[in-house]
Amino acid sequence: MATLPAIASVWVLGAGLAVAGVPDTVLVEEATVGSFRHATRFVISPQGGFYVVDEENNSLVFIDGKTSRVTTIGGYGWTPGSFDRPTSVSTDGLNVYVTDEANHRVQRFDRNLNFISSLSTRDTSVVSARFGFPAGAALSRQGDLFILDAENMRVVKFNARSQFERSFGGIDQERGRIRQPVKIVVAPSDRVFVLEPDRVLEYDFVGNHIRTAGEGILRGAVGLDVTDNTLLVVTSDTLHWFTLSGHFRHSTPVRFIISSLPLTPVQDVIVTRDRFYILGRERVHVFRMMEQGR
């Protein structure tokens, strides 16, 4: 792992972060974190640590935000705690969920990455509860787990007790039918967003399709983050900004961001109140957001 101090390089987002309530924002690079073979997804815990999926190593890496201590679990396999193509990670601060694509399961760990349990329904007799090749999973504020089922092209919802509740986005849902699932996010509003390469599908908490955004604009989308008032979609080299109502604002090439190490190809992005995180294949780039003129 390498950690670099803040540097003087800045990037003025201008209207790009006006949707976050800051009309003109400067990004100052604070650090680069990690050393991965091919990172694909990441999440920041409430305690400030990073959980990163390193797909090529079939591993999950935790980097403590206070001590910089690195913990790695996984390796190729099908036993508890091993993975065959991990595709996503999500956490509520106490539990960590990792989708294990080729093993058709979601594994649950405690925040120190001790194995707790595994959820797999591919062979269940309840057809609507089945999922296979999970492309991602996301948690609601209530602890509900939404799994992006890439085998049946739908979302399967389980409550906080791992009991199946419903599935949606499947072949019977005409306007909201999922075709090429990439990532799933549950917003602070409890709306569910499913990213596809060329669009974003939005559903309410019980799976009713609300709207579709990005058609005709997005191409090759790989990452997504949703804040209180912003929908941000990334391709390998571009940021695309939308309002939560799906209206396109503008696109920003990643090459405009000044950083100490290469940012592209971008894999994912996270925006918080005062930090902007970009996940590349080899590292996490951390930027501090400052209002211009301060």
- Residue 77's domain spans which residues? 44-251
Residue 108 belongs to a domain: yes
Residue 211 belongs to a domain: yes
Residue 227 belongs to a domain: yes
Residue 238 belongs to a domain: yes
Residue 29 belongs to a domain: no
Q: Find the CATH number of the domain harbouring 112.
A: 2.120.10.30
Residue 289 belongs to a domain: no
pLDDT in tens, the chain (294 residues): 343 333 334 455 543 443 344 446 788 899 999 999 999 999 999 999 999 999 999 999 999 988 989 999 999 999 999 999 999 999 999 999 999 999 999 999 999 999 999 999 999 999 999 999 999 999 999 999 999 999 999 999 999 999 999 999 998 888 899 999 999 999 989 999 999 999 999 999 999 999 999 999 999 999 999 998 899 999 999 999 999 999 999 999 999 898 989 999 999 999 998 899 999 999 999 999 877 655
What is the pTM (predicted TM-score) of this model? 0.91
Residue 21 belongs to a domain: no
154-158 and 164-168: which strand pairing? Answer: antiparallel
Residue 196 belongs to a domain: yes
What's the number of domains the chain is made of? 1
